[in-house]
Every structure is written in C-alpha cells, then in structure tokens.
Structure 1
Amino acid sequence: MAVTLEVFPARKRRPFVVGSLDSPPKISDTKLVRSLLLASQEISSMQPLRFILRRNSLSVIRKAKILATVFDELLRSPITYSQSAQLCFEEMQIVMQRIKTLIEDCSRSSKLWLLLQIENVSFSFQELTTDLSTVLDILPVNDFNLSDDAEDLIVLLRKQCSNSIQFVDPRDDALRRKVTDTIDGIKHRTTPDQSKLIEIFTDLGFPDSASLNDEIQRLEDETHDQIDERSKSSASSLIGLVRYTNCVLYGPSTPSPPPPHPDFRRYKSLSDANIPADFRCPITLELMREPVVVSTGQTYDRESIDLWIQSGHNTCPKTGQVLKHTNLIPNRALKNLIVMWCRDQKIPFELYGDGGVGSSPIPCKEAEEFTRMMVLFLIDKLSEAEPNGVVFELRALAKSDSVARACIAEAGAIPKLVRYLGSKSPSLQINAVTTILNLSILELNKTRIMETNGALNGVIEVLRFGATWEAKANAAATLFSLAGVSAYKRRLGRKTHVVNGLVDLAKMGPTSSKKDALVAILNLAAERENVGKFVEAGVVEAARDAFRELPEEAVAVVEAIVRRGGLMAVSAAFGLIKLLGELMREGADTTRESAAATLVTMCRKGGSELVAELAAIPGIERVIWEMIGTGTARGGRKAASLMRYLRRWAAGDTHETAAETQSIVVPTPNRIFNPVL
C-alpha cells in the first residue's frame, strides 16, 4: 500500500518535498526555455545520494539529463509556443524546483533519519515522477519541430515515467530493520553487539569518529525541526545510538588544548565567536535561545530561569531582589537581534517557540538506556592510564541534558572526578571541574556533590590555585550553582577560602572570570551572615575595580552588600559615592537603577554626612531629575527618594534621617572610619 504524504512527521521547517510552490512570474518563451534548461542541467550535475535512496535519486537525475538535451535543442531553434505549451513549461519548472529541493534536503539530512523515513521519502520521489509524467503526457510535442532523436527521447521519458513505481531498495530496507532491532533491544537493556554496530555504520558510510559527530549534529538539527513529540523521541533515540557507537568504536574524544589567550570562555558551542554580553544569559553565560524578562526587568534564557525558579528560589539571580511574580515575558526584540547576529556570524540558531523548555525533546526510554550504557562504558575507562579523553566525554555528556547528568552521578562518577581536580594537567583539571559544574545543574546532584568526600574542598582548591583562569572561573560557577540551595549558601559562606577565593578572582582575573566571581558573590551575599565576611575580604574594592568593565555586575554586588550589611558595609562603600553618581549619569538602565538603589540605602543608613558627599557631586540633581523622568519604574522611585534626602539635607532637616540610622564618622582620605556607638 502506498504511503501518503500525511505520514510525514510535522516539521517546523520545509519538509523534504515542497508541496506547492508559487507559480513563476510570466516571462518570454525564450527565457522560459532557458530557465528550464538551466534547471535540468543543475539537477543533472547533482550527485546521486550515497548509501541510501541512491537508485531513487539517480533515476530522477537521469530523467533531468534527458530533458536537458530536449530543452537545449528547443533553445537553438526558438519558436513562438502555444498557450498550452507555455502552461506545460511553467508546470515543468515547478516540478524541476521540487526535484532539486528534494535531493538537496536528502543530501543535508541525517542518514539515519532518512533511513527511518525511507518509505515516505521514496514516495516523494515517486510522486514527482508521476507529476513529470502528467506534464509530459499533455506536452504538445508536435508543435515544436523537434528532431527525430529529440522526439524519441521524449517518448522514452514518457514510457519511463508511466512505468515507474514506488521503490525501496531491499538493502536499505534490511539496514533499516537492523537499526530498529538494535533500538528495540535497548528497551530490554540488551547491549548492542559491537560487530553489528560496525556493520550498520559502515553500510551507512560513517568511516570515522568525525563523520559520526557530524551525524549527531544533523540529528540534533532534525530534533529541533520536529513538532510532534513522537518524532522528537525517535530522533533522540538515534542520537543516543550514534553517541554510544562513537564512544564504543572509536573511544573517548581527544580534547583540544586550551587556547593560549588568558581570557577564556567556558563554553565552546559557538566556536570562537565573540558573543555580545547582552546576548548571554547571566546564569549560564551562554547565548540565549529564548530570552525572557522577569519582574525585576532582568533578562534570562527561559530554560535557565525556569530551572532557577523551579528549584525554589524567589529572587532575581542577578540583583537579588524578590520576584513580585514568576511570570516570564518573552523578550522578542532581543531575540530578533540575536537571530540577526547569528545569521551575520553564520551560527545556527534554534528558533524555539514561546514554550521554550517544551521545545526540547522529551527523553524516551531508548535514549536514556543508550546514555546509561555510554556512561558505564566511560566510567570503566576512567581506570586507564590516560583519563583526559574520558573526562572530556563526560563533560560534554553532562552538558547535554538532565538524563545524562543523573546517569553520570548515579554511576558514581563524582568521587572519581574529584581526584582529577588536583591534576597537574591543565586540560584534565579544566575538564574535571567543568564536568562537576555541569552535573551541579541538576538539583539532586547538588546534594551529591556537597556530600561527596573531598568534592567541595577540591572545587575550592581549584578556585584558589587552579592552573588556568578558565579552571578558576568554572570553579566559581560551580559554587554559584551549589549556592542555589539556601542551606548551602550559609555553609559555603562560612568557609573563608570560598570568600577569599571569589574576591581574589574578582580582583585579579580576566573579564570573563571576574564576571563568574561577581555573580557567585552576589548569590552568596543573599545570605545576610555572609556579607560581613565579604566586606572584610575586600569585596567592595574588587567591585570598584570592576566598575568600568563589568558595571552591571559590580554595582549589583555593591547594592547587595550595602543593603544586607551593616554600617561597616556602608563605610566600606563610602568612597564609591562619586562613582555611583557617574554610573547614574552614564550607565545602562539596570546599572543606573542599581546605583540609585545603592545610594538610597547608604543615605538611609549613613546619615547626613553621606548625603553631603552625594550633594557635592557636580550636576547630581540634574542626573536625578533625568532618572525620575526617563529611568525604569524602580529607578524613578529610587531617584525620587534620593531627591528627598538631598532636599532635607539642604534644608538642614536631619532629624528624620537621624531617627532611622546611627551616626557615623565621615572618612577622610587618610583613615578608615568606624561607627560611633
């Protein structure tokens, strides 16, 4: 029974065959024939598909070659064609476009995905042949004054098209059964036979690990293109099969050496593209796929902030403010900018729908089992003399999805990874700490890491004495992730090495490392008892030094320290008043808002002396008025509070301020002040 096109899985992009194309614009007879000649020649020059659907593609390519010969003769002897001939040519042009599109789609697609869809795709080839046959049957050949040879070619082509039937190569069908049997065996936890895997992937034309990695990328693209969950699960199963085969047949990948430049980036998924800071999610520092805005006005990637909220947090990760609600508003303007930037950089961008998280494939039993088998295989390999490639594979696997993170932790990988945190090999150390970072994204793994003997201390040692800035930055990011659990915030904050290590990294690291440190400090500073320790460690000075290169993060840290700290925190931040005033004038909206909020807290806690310092900034009232009129809603409220403090101070009314705060001694450049008790 013929398979209809309705069985094609629903896709977001163009399916293998275009169901209908707009009719081409009206053009002259000569141009129309020339267009058909070029189209047929272009198809004739295409290579038939290799390994799968070869006979189907070769058949239509040969037919195009015959048509090219006929059109070439028509072009050499131009005549005026009848209206029926013109209509036939126009229909044939559409068929040619569809043939070309089908072959191109098949060439770009995953071979395994094509194999599972082979009946549908072979039907598409047959449908195009039938459409071509229909056009040839009504083509008024007798009006063309063709040579006998050309007429014979058309007769031959008509006969070939009319006798054509849907065809699936028996070898392709047998290969498909081998693949489906292997996947079905996984459901019953049957480990695939290595010789059968070699046979399958050799027949598919995958000679090495690089070709399998390319197939994984094609399957991941296919997953994003599918709409229905059944097709997503099928693609996910195939990805698991290829990953497992790649690992078993060719062993763990050899990681690339770290780049010589000191300013490392943690993620390499976008090659070495210089991603604009505004396009990165503040939580993961990766390119945002689905930017959304939370109630504080900050933008995050939907998947990251969803995970943050589902973990029980009710605060904004960047500012520490309590979220008034958990509604996530799509930032479509920013998403459009990201898409345009990706196109300019020739970087693929998965256009998720508004569902964001729901766009990722739902894990299926076969994919989970492939992942479990691959993890067990890698864990066994860790006992070998050269573990770096194995740890690199675990790092990549831990980044892929939550199923992999759970499987890796359940297999007992964390204690094994701990011993590599102190490795003298920079590459192995980076891979080990980054694997733990990726594992910590799963909430259950946070507890596993904290309870594993030596894991936390190992991460802290990498933070303090890591071989590279990248290793230190990833250790800081790991602490940020672990601090997502409220109880762990206090536990981490009690460790002096954590506090000092993060502050030192914020002071001395390159920009990307400073950002990781500041974000981790901001998260830990949400616990009031940690603030004093950060102040003593010099966090205010570290933030001051980062004002120019990381103003948003640095000001957010100062705001959190001043808001949750006592007079000691206000005293430490006294020297930043003028800098905060400058940021209110020149910074981005969120930075201006945070700077104003910091100054309000300082004026409220510090009294008239601090208000006097603020009033001494040239043009500060104009800056405040501008912010009241053009700033964000919260920024406008904070600016209005600042204006009230300035007005009371100018009027000599310090009674209300004094009632709210204790007096402090104003610091001079040559001494540090203490609160007056």
Structure 2
Amino acid sequence: MGRNDLYITVPSIFRCPISLDVMRSPVSLCTGVTYDRASIQRWLDSGNNTCPATMQVLQSKEFVPNRNLQRLIQIWSDSVARRQLEADPAANSAVPSQDQINLLVKQLDNNNFLSSLTKIVCFARESEENREFLVRIDGFLNAVFDFMRNVESDVKLIEQVVEILNLMSSKILEKKPLLESSSLSTILLVIQRGSLDSQIQSIGLLRSIAVDGESKLKIAEEEGILQELVKSLSREKDPSLIEASLSCLIEITKPKRVKIKAIQSGTIPELKKHLSEPNTSVSIIEKSLKLLETLSSCREGRVEIWHDPILLQAIVQKLLKVSNKATEHAVTVLWCVCCLFRDEKAQEVVANSNGMTKFLLLMQSNCSAAVRKMSADLLKIFRVNSKSCLSSYDTKTTHIMPF
C-alpha cells in the first residue's frame, strides 16, 4: 500500500461485503445485497445457497449487474487517480500504472495533451508489454493521429507525439494517417527544430512507415523532407543523426523517381565527404556505400560518380579495409560504373588506384559469389591477360546485380 493510500477514504457501499475490497464488477443477488462478481461466484461455487450478508436462503442464484453502482465507483476511482497524479511529485516522475494510463488517455485533449502524453511516453518506454497495452486502448491512436493532423507549432508537444509513435511504430498496423501531408509536415517540423533525440526519432519514424513503393514516394515528395535528410548527412552533424538519415535514405530511395530526386538534392557529394574522411565510423562507411550502391543503379547516379575521380578513389580505398559489407557495396558501385557504364576515364582512375590488385585479392578471399563474379568482370574490363591465373574464371557478365 502506497503512502497516499492511507489518506483515501473508501465509501462503504463501494466495498464488497465478502472481500472488503473495492468492487470491480458489482452484482446484486435476489436479496438486494450487492457483491463483487468474483467473490460471490466463489461463494456459490463452494456449494453455499445463502446470501453471505443476511444468511437468507437464496430463491435464485442468478445475479444482476449493478450498473449504477459500477458507474459511481468508476467516477470515484478516476477522481482519486487524478488527485494522486496532480498532488504527488513522485507519482508524476514514476511510471504510471495501467489504471492511470486509462485515465490519462481519457483526458487527452488540447488543454492538457502535453502533461498527459509525457506520462504516457514514460509508460511506453518501460516495456514492450506496455506498448501493446496502449495499442489495445480504444481511441488512443486515433487521438494521436488527430493531433498530428491538426498541430500548429508547439515543438515540445510534437516531440512527445513523435516519440510515442516511434516507440509504437512496430505495433501500428494502419500507417496511412502518418503518410498524410499534414502528418509528414509535422514530422518535418521536428527534424528542423526539435532536439537531437527528437530529430533521430522523427527520422526513425519516417523509415518505419516507408513500407512500400507508394509510401516511399509520399515521404520523398513531401516538400522539404528529402532536403532535410540530405542536410542531416553533413559531417558537422552528430554521428547518430547521420546514421539515422543514411538508414532512412537507403529505405526510401528504392523507387527510381526518388533516386533521381535524392541525386538532385546533393546526396552524392555528402557521401563523398564521409568516404574521404579518415575518421569516419565503420557503420557510417557501410551505410554510405550502401546508399551509393542504390544510387548507382540508375544512370544519373553512375554519371555523377564517374565524373568524380576523388570519389572513385575513395571507394577503391575502402575495398578490404573496412568490413565485408563495405567491400561488397564498394565492388557493386565500381561494377556499375565500370562494367555497366563502361566509362574509360572511370576505369583508368580505378586501375591507377590499385584497383586491379585489390580485385585479385578479393577473388582469392572468402568473399561472396556475387563479389567474386563482379571482381572477375572488372578485371576483364582492365584487359588482364587471359592466360594468367584468372583464365579459369568465367567472366561473362550474366549474373544478377545484387540490389
């Protein structure tokens, strides 16, 4: 029993005569006495045929729900919970109970949305079970979606909304409300003006709702979103924000239309900076090369890559030096530019950057079949002697591009 409970006076009519606890589901017997359903059911199931309070023999063991009393108990219980939340600082900072959450959801409106949602976010952070509980509350997600559609400019409030949606993104089956222009513009506002954590959560939310081609297009074509994601790739930004933006861009740039739009927004020069910087983390290098691989699958991307010798050199330098993932993405980009586009200047840059030696080493390493095949194709482009140790490799470019 908590300290505050000592000061709560429970009306006697709210207590079950058997358990003496507040009744959850009050029901009345034919004698007119009301009990909690669970308590009286146990009494009758034990073989008793009398009313426990009056000891009268029951003419009927049927009981009727006491709706009026149940409604009064609910009003009283809500009032007690509200007073505890408002009066006890410890209760405000602690994780709310499920009963308190039910009350807070009922209270969601424009006047106290921030206060209620802050407590709900605290509840959702606690566990997966809590998030599932929230999803099951009738009207909760609709209330949050409505807020997203009608929000004005209270960034602190929007940050709470974005966090709760990001926490529950895997539980939200109906994602269409979040793809509406009004909701996307709200998410954009947090990316532009929110705290670092809120920016990362907003970008994570975008990634989670990009579930198919249509959703990816809607996100990319919402004015300002793609530009902000590219801006977030700047080396001056926090590494966690850069990683979140790279992951989101990888997800939404799968449609060709979005690839072209991302290229036009200046994505490739930002990727070049990360690949050329010696202190870039492994994760950012891997994601940068993965995004570059995606963009190189369209002609516009390949043109921009082969036009930039420094970028090509940086890609070659990452072969065998970062990770297996990074190597695979780098080989695919070089294969797209040198084998598909067949630009002689790009081939010369790759060859002069010690590319041939690295492809030879790759073919002798424990790399994937796709990487070995692309390496052989690249060596053929560089006119390696067919009588050399590579002659046993079939270098026809008949394999499927790995994206």
Q: Secondary structure at the match of 1:594?
A: helix
Which residue does the alignment assign to 1:486?
A: 213
Structure 1 residues 649 and 416: alpha-carbon distance in aligned structure 2, compared to 1, 3 A threshold: farther
Structure 1 residues 212 and 438: alpha-carbon distance in aligned structure 2, compared to 1, 3 A threshold: closer
Distance (Å, rounded) in 1 between the aligned partners of 2:345 and 2:184: 44
1:474 maps to amino acid: Q
1:405 maps to amino acid: V
1:544 Cα deviation (Å)?
2.0
Q: Secondary structure at the match of 1:647?
A: coil
1:379 Cα deviation (Å)?
4.8
Structure 1 residues 590 and 444: alpha-carbon distance in aligned structure 2, compared to 1, 3 A threshold: same
Distance (Å, rounded) in 2 between the aligned partners of 1:183 and 1:604: 77
Structure 1 residues 539 and 631: alpha-carbon distance in aligned structure 2, compared to 1, 3 A threshold: farther
Distance (Å, rounded) in 2 between the aligned partners of 1:469 and 1:208: 27
1:545 maps to amino acid: K
2:220 touches 2:252 (CA, 8 Å); kept in 1?
yes
Distance (Å, rounded) in 1 between the aligned partners of 2:37 and 2:290: 50
Distance (Å, rounded) in 1 between the aligned partners of 2:152 and 2:373: 48
How does 1:326-405 map onto structure 2 within 5 Å? 374-375=101-102, 377-385=104-112, 387-397=113-123, 400=128, 401-402=131-132, 404-405=134-135
Q: Secondary structure at the match of 1:509?
A: coil
Which residue does the alignment assign to 2:373?
A: 637
1:389 Cα deviation (Å)?
2.9
Which residue does the alignment assign to 1:585?
A: 320
Which residue does the alignment assign to 1:470?
A: 197
Distance (Å, rounded) in 1 between the aligned partners of 2:38 and 2:240: 46
Is 1:497 aligned to residue 227 of structure 2?
A: no
Distance (Å, rounded) in 2 between the aligned partners of 1:600 and 1:627: 14
Distance (Å, rounded) in 1 between the aligned partners of 2:326 and 2:38: 55
Which residue of 249, 255, 261 maps to 1:521? Answer: 249
Distance (Å, rounded) in 1 between the aligned partners of 2:334 and 2:271: 15
1:438 Cα deviation (Å)?
3.4
After superposition, the C-alpha distances for 1:454-484 in whole angstroms (9 at most, x for unaligned) are 2122112322x22323222222222212211
In the superposition, the TM-score normalised over structure 1's length comes to 0.41
Which residue does the alignment assign to 1:429?
A: 158
1:243 maps to amino acid: S
Which residue does the alignment assign to 1:558?
A: 292
Structure 1 residues 570 and 502: alpha-carbon distance in aligned structure 2, compared to 1, 3 A threshold: same
1:525 Cα deviation (Å)?
1.0
Distance (Å, rounded) in 2 between the aligned partners of 1:504 and 1:488: 21
Structure 1 residues 455 and 397: alpha-carbon distance in aligned structure 2, compared to 1, 3 A threshold: farther
Which residue does the alignment assign to 2:33?
A: none
Which residue does the alignment assign to 1:438?
A: 167
How does 1:2-401 map onto structure 2 within 5 Å? 174=19, 193=74, 209=91, 213=95, 243-245=97-99, 247=100, 374-375=101-102, 377-385=104-112, 387-397=113-123, 400=128, 401=131
Gaps of 5+ in 1: 1-49, 52-172, 214-241, 248-373, 652-656, 661-677
Distance (Å, rounded) in 2 between the aligned partners of 1:599 and 1:183: 73
2:114 maps to amino acid: N
Structure 1 residues 578 and 211: alpha-carbon distance in aligned structure 2, compared to 1, 3 A threshold: closer
1:516 Cα deviation (Å)?
1.1
Which residue of 183, 187, 195 maps to 1:455? Answer: 183
In the superposition, the TM-score normalised over structure 2's length comes to 0.66
How does 1:537-548 map onto structure 2 within 5 Å? 537-547=265-275, 548=280
1:414 touches 1:436 (CA, 8 Å); kept in 2?
no
After superposition, the C-alpha distances for 1:223-275 in whole angstroms (9 at most, x for unaligned) are xxxxxxxxxxxxxxxxxxx7234x3xxxxxxxxxxxxxxxxxxxxxxxxxxxx
Structure 1 residues 378 and 177: alpha-carbon distance in aligned structure 2, compared to 1, 3 A threshold: closer
Q: Secondary structure at the match of 2:296?
A: helix
Which residue does the alignment assign to 1:625?
A: 360
Distance (Å, rounded) in 2 between the aligned partners of 1:647 and 1:529: 35
1:409 Cα deviation (Å)?
4.7
Which residue does the alignment assign to 1:315?
A: none
Structure 1 residues 479 and 410: alpha-carbon distance in aligned structure 2, compared to 1, 3 A threshold: closer
1:583 Cα deviation (Å)?
0.9
Q: Secondary structure at the match of 1:584?
A: coil
2:159 touches 2:190 (CA, 8 Å); kept in 1?
no
Distance (Å, rounded) in 2 between the aligned partners of 1:519 and 1:396: 26
1:502 touches 1:517 (CA, 8 Å); kept in 2?
yes
Is 1:573 aligned to residue 298 of structure 2?
A: no
1:416 Cα deviation (Å)?
1.9
1:178 Cα deviation (Å)?
7.0
Distance (Å, rounded) in 1 between the aligned partners of 2:338 and 2:327: 16
Distance (Å, rounded) in 2 between the aligned partners of 1:175 and 1:650: 93
Which residue does the alignment assign to 1:647?
A: 383
1:606 Cα deviation (Å)?
2.6
2:163 maps to amino acid: T
1:413 Cα deviation (Å)?
2.2
Structure 1 residues 645 and 477: alpha-carbon distance in aligned structure 2, compared to 1, 3 A threshold: same
Distance (Å, rounded) in 2 between the aligned partners of 1:377 and 1:405: 14
1:581 touches 1:617 (CA, 8 Å); kept in 2?
yes
Which residue of 518, 534, 549 maps to 2:262? Answer: 534
Distance (Å, rounded) in 2 between the aligned partners of 1:211 and 1:180: 31
After superposition, the C-alpha distances for 1:354-381 in whole angstroms (9 at most, x for unaligned) are xxxxxxxxxxxxxxxxxxxx35633524
Which residue does the alignment assign to 2:47?
A: none
2:241 maps to amino acid: S
1:553 maps to amino acid: K
2:145 maps to amino acid: I
1:395 touches 1:435 (CA, 8 Å); kept in 2?
yes
1:580 Cα deviation (Å)?
1.0
Q: Secondary structure at the match of 1:632?
A: coil
| Higher RCO structure (Cα 8 Å, ≥6 apart) | 1
1:559 touches 1:595 (CA, 8 Å); kept in 2?
yes
Distance (Å, rounded) in 1 between the aligned partners of 2:111 and 2:381: 68
Root mean square deviation of aligned Cα: 4.0
How many equivalent pairs are there? Answer: 314
Distance (Å, rounded) in 2 between the aligned partners of 1:384 and 1:492: 30
Which residue does the alignment assign to 1:616?
A: 352
Structure 1 residues 393 and 635: alpha-carbon distance in aligned structure 2, compared to 1, 3 A threshold: farther
